[in-house]
A and B are shown apart, each in its own frame.
Chain A
Amino acid sequence: MSPLKADSDVERSSAVGMTGDPPANSGSGLAVAGDPHRQRGGTTLLDRLEPVIEWIIRLCGWSAILFVFAIFLFVFLEGAPMLFGDLDLVEFFTSTNWRPDSEIRPQYGILALLVGTLSVTSLAMLIAVPLGLGAAVYVSEFAGGRIKETLKIVIELLAAIPSVVWGFIGYMVLGPILIWLTGAPIGINLLNGGIILALMSVPIIVSVSEDALRAVPDSYREAATALGASRWEVVYRVLFPAAKNGLLAAVLLGVGRAIGETMAVLMATGHAVQIPRSVMDPVRTLTATIAAELGETVAGDAHYQVLFVIGMVLFAVAFVVNLSADLVIKGIRGGRNE
């Protein structure tokens, strides 16, 4: 690492003193502007452009906010004519009739889709939360050395498998297995989607809850162990209460991931607009509806706009879930600092 290139460009010696803007705590007030050593420090074009570059960096830093607003804005703008126009919001949220292509009277009731999303998500969470928390506890508290590293890497790789591949697995592998196991006529249904979604949301649950468990100070563990608690008692009596916010956030993030998942549920849930009566019924979710139908619509027509309204609903739900997860995490962090 050569921090400063040897280069005899003198003109910069004062410029550095001007633009050099280190934080107050850096103690660099000790560096005197006329220091002879500084003249040997090289300047390049990159240095002279510092103000410009700093603005570029600033803009990039703000880009996340920009994009979140842009996403909201564009989805809103495309759907707004329908939202404030023909769409009957009561029917939209309470009717199970999703007939967007009807020639006589198209109906846009998303209740069945909402229930579809909720049922698949709940089923997935029913499977994923205990398994994910258990795996996180094992990785964080029980496993050691090589097993721990291996498990962490495998779970991380699980997270990397693309959702379309999960959908493919549900469609081509899990479906036939379910038919073989239960004798049901179709294998792509609520249960299939739930299992696939569970496997997909487990990695995030594991990694966030493991972080939460690791964030509990070791002195807690040591104190409990000194009182004679076994590892399990430490986990159950000390770590769970201490990390409960982090664990809750993990569950919330898992829920967020499951609600927003598209390709996997599109391929694995069977795609029938109905309120499921058993786990073997096929269902359809909000995300899958957009994915399946946007291609058939013409930009600007009613059906197209309704799909954007569904997008708004999804955006809002995801926003609320992520916001609460963030608040829950920040809540403990703030509390601990005090």
Chain B
Amino acid sequence: MSEQPQVVEEWFLLPGAESGGMGTREAPWGSVEEALATLARRPGATLRDAAAGGRDVELVCLTDAGVPPPAAQAANHRLYIDPHATVAGNGTEAKPCQDWNEACQTLKNRLRTQQFRLAPGERLRFHVREAFTTTRFEMRKRRVETFARSVFLMMALLLVAPVLLILGYLVVQAWPVLTPAFLYTNPQDYMTTGGIWAPLIGTFLLVLLSLLIAAPIGVLAGVYLNEYAGQNWWTRMINLAVVNLAGVPSIVHALFGVGAFVLFAGMGRSLLAAACTVAVMTLPVIITSSREALAAVPMAFREACWNLGASRWQTIRTIVLPNSISGILTGVILQVARAAGETAPILFTGAVFFVPIADSGLPYWLPYNWDDRFMALSMHLFTLSTQVKDVGDEVKFGTAVVLIGLVLAVNSLSIGLRVYLRSHKRW
């Protein structure tokens, strides 16, 4: 529905022209009164038809020289006619006239009382409002709406587009080194060339170890919070602790790791100490997502099981956990992605710039013991870009792309799993 009807009939008048005009530009009418009288008299050709067809009619007052105002000029005066109006109006937008007769009458009255005058070069529009047509107020609202919508869209795109561009740029820059050999070759020549095998396997071991520590604790904590905890201040405290644990800065986790695992527990700077630190850091992710996954299992399942005489733990073991295992998995996978990317917590707890490892044999596949210092991919990226000189850009970009690729792949797995679950929900 548009604001203005497509077809506008134009009739011309020239003040002072001799009577008997045709209303055309060549033979204009002499006054508004004559125009109205003529238009109302002429059968079939005029206002009534226009009203039926929803067409607007414009009276154009020619200037003294007989020139019409520019076609683009908005009408100077408007009379609104709404065939669906239920009460008589005065022709304004808020109170439209009911039909043409009323409009003409209103106009004549105003002309007589000199409230209205069509000056040369002005246009008078009889605006016929279609049923449910938009008022100008609504049009303004709609324009604001469109504007707001595009602004919000711009904001969303402004966030997403540059990042996608940057990621694309990283891949382009890294393209020369992105071969399988880059993955399975060790860093060489003081890390300036070669691949990323040692840090890659280090990250893998770190993630595995931290997962082994964090996953059982996190999932059981989720079980506790969803299945056992009552609605009391203690539960509230636990929830608060989870939220705060998630919000503790990563560097503070690193300090904690140094104080608790490296020094107090006597692990030294080692793979295990780093894994413990990362495990504590990623614990809230697992707790929160496990609890959500468990909460998604309908209460009726538990009640049915209890009614069969099963104890609470039996219910959890046989009903609740199997039904929520995939949801829990998505959280665990998210933990993996996060653990793989963390740098600050492992900076002082076990990861080091460079540990030479063998190029073949078992030490190649399993280079680090739990008490060894190790290389990690995230740390390696930091080292390459800020600590080592003369590293080819493509090696840095390659490392970055592999790290991003790894993290995004794991995340996509989690998202994919979630989408799959949502579409295959059985209850």
Q: A residues within 8 Å of B by Cβ?
A: 1-4, 16-17, 19-22, 26-28, 30-31, 35, 37-38, 41, 46-47, 50, 53-54, 56-58, 60-65, 67-68, 70-71, 74-75, 77-78, 130-132, 134-135, 137-139, 142-143, 151, 153-158, 160-165, 167-169, 171-173, 199, 202, 206, 230-233, 235-236, 253, 256-257, 259-263, 267, 287, 290-291, 294-295, 299, 307-308, 311, 314-315, 318-319, 321-323, 325-326
The smallest beta-carbon distance between A180 and chain B, in angstroms, is: 14
Given known contacts A65-B241, A169-B166, A232-B144, A294 and B258 CB-to-CB distance under 8 angstroms: yes
Complex partner residue of A163 from B169, B250, B259, CB under 8 angstroms: B250
| Cβ contact within 8 Å between A295 and B348 | yes
| Cβ contact within 8 Å between A160 and B309 | no
| Cβ contact within 8 Å between A27 and B343 | no
Q: Name the interface residues of B338-384: CB closer than 8 Å to any CB of A.
A: 338, 340-344, 347-348, 378-379, 381-382
Q: Give the total number of A-B pairs whose CB atoms are below 8 A apart.
A: 333
The smallest beta-carbon distance between B119 and chain A, in angstroms, is: 37
Q: Name the interface residues of B287-344: CB closer than 8 Å to any CB of A.
A: 287, 302-303, 305-315, 317-319, 322-323, 337-338, 340-344
| Cβ contact within 8 Å between B263 and A299 | yes
Give the interface size bracket for B toward A: 35 or more
Complex partner residue of B347 from A158, A230, A253, A291, CB under 8 angstroms: A291
The reply on B111 being an interface residue by CB < 8 A is no
For the residues of A in contact with B, the DSSP-based class is helix
Complex partner residue of A199 from B142, B163, B220, B348, CB under 8 angstroms: B163
Q: In the complex the two chains form, what is the Cα distance from A130 to B224 in whole Å?
A: 38
Q: In the complex the two chains form, what is the Cα distance from A267 to B311 in whole Å?
A: 54
Tell me which residues across on chain B come within 8 A of A155, comparing CB atoms. 159-160
Contact with A along B116-151 (1 / 0, CB 8 A): 000000000000000000000000011011001101
Q: Which residue of A lies closest to B415 (CB)?
A: A153
Tell me which residues across on chain B come within 8 A of A314, comparing CB atoms. 249, 251-252
Tell me which residues across on chain A come within 8 A of B240, comparing CB atoms. 323, 326
| Cβ contact within 8 Å between A142 and B323 | no
Given known contacts A60-B216, A165-B403, A131 and B306 CB-to-CB distance under 8 angstroms: no
Complex partner residue of A64 from B159, B283, B342, CB under 8 angstroms: B283
The smallest beta-carbon distance between A300 and chain B, in angstroms, is: 9
Nearest 10 CB-CB pairs, A to B? A162-B341, A61-B224, A260-B249, A134-B155, A74-B259, A60-B220, A138-B152, A322-B247, A232-B148, A28-B306
Q: Which residue of A lies closest to B167 (CB)?
A: A161
| Cβ contact within 8 Å between A71 and B310 | no
| Cβ contact within 8 Å between A47 and B313 | yes
Tell me which residues across on chain A come within 8 A of B145, comparing CB atoms. 230-233
The reply on B47 being an interface residue by CB < 8 A is no
Q: Enumerate 18 A-B pairs (CB-CB under 8 Å) in ascending A order.
A: A17-B309, A28-B306, A28-B309, A53-B313, A62-B238, A64-B284, A70-B256, A78-B263, A139-B156, A163-B342, A164-B341, A168-B385, A169-B170, A232-B149, A263-B382, A314-B251, A326-B240, A326-B243
Q: Which interface residue of A26, A158, A256, A308 has the most chain B CB atoms within 10 A?
A: A26
Q: In the complex the two chains form, what is the Cα distance from A27 to B152 in whole Å?
A: 50
| Cβ contact within 8 Å between B163 and A260 | no
Tell me which residues across on chain B come within 8 A of A28, comparing CB atoms. 303, 306-307, 309
The smallest beta-carbon distance between B425 and chain A, in angstroms, is: 14
Tell me which residues across on chain A come within 8 A of B162, comparing CB atoms. 199
Q: Which residue of B lies closest to A308 (CB)?
A: B255
The reply on B107 being an interface residue by CB < 8 A is no
The smallest beta-carbon distance between A31 and chain B, in angstroms, is: 4
Given known contacts A156-B411, A291-B347, A315-B248, A142 and B310 CB-to-CB distance under 8 angstroms: no
Contact with A along B376-412 (1 / 0, CB 8 A): 0011011001100000010011001001100110011
Complex partner residue of A160 from B246, B302, B319, B337, CB under 8 angstroms: B337
The reply on B242 being an interface residue by CB < 8 A is yes
Given A74-B260, A74-B264, 11 extra CB contacts under 8 A: A53-B313, A57-B227, A61-B228, A64-B221, A75-B255, A142-B149, A156-B411, A163-B344, A299-B263, A321-B247, A322-B244
| Cβ contact within 8 Å between A68 and B307 | no
For the residues of B in contact with A, the DSSP-based class is helix
Given known contacts A20-B311, A57-B223, A64-B242, A71 and B408 CB-to-CB distance under 8 angstroms: no
Tell me which residues across on chain A come within 8 A of B317, comparing CB atoms. 46-47
Q: In the complex the two chains form, what is the Cα distance from A148 to B145 in whole Å?
A: 18
| Cβ contact within 8 Å between A1 and B319 | yes
Tell me which residues across on chain A come within 8 A of B144, comparing CB atoms. 230, 232
The smallest beta-carbon distance between B333 and chain A, in angstroms, is: 11
Q: Which residue of A lies closest to B244 (CB)?
A: A322
| Cβ contact within 8 Å between A56 and B220 | yes
Q: In the complex the two chains form, what is the Cα distance from A138 to B151 in whole Å?
A: 9
Given known contacts A20-B306, A231-B149, A138 and B311 CB-to-CB distance under 8 angstroms: no
| Cβ contact within 8 Å between B312 and A22 | yes
| Cβ contact within 8 Å between B238 and A158 | no
Q: In the complex the two chains form, what is the Cα distance from A287 to B345 in whole Å?
A: 12
The reply on B417 being an interface residue by CB < 8 A is no
The smallest beta-carbon distance between A142 and chain B, in angstroms, is: 5
Given known contacts A78-B259, A162-B342, A31 and B404 CB-to-CB distance under 8 angstroms: no
| Cβ contact within 8 Å between B310 and A160 | no
Tell me which residues across on chain B come within 8 A of A57, comparing CB atoms. 220, 223-224, 227-228
Q: In the complex the two chains form, what is the Cα distance from A326 to B415 in whole Å?
A: 26
The smallest beta-carbon distance between B218 and chain A, in angstroms, is: 8
Q: In the complex the two chains form, what is the Cα distance from A4 to B311 in whole Å?
A: 11
Q: In the complex the two chains form, what is the Cα distance from A230 to B338 in whole Å?
A: 41
Q: Which residue of A lies closest to B217 (CB)?
A: A60
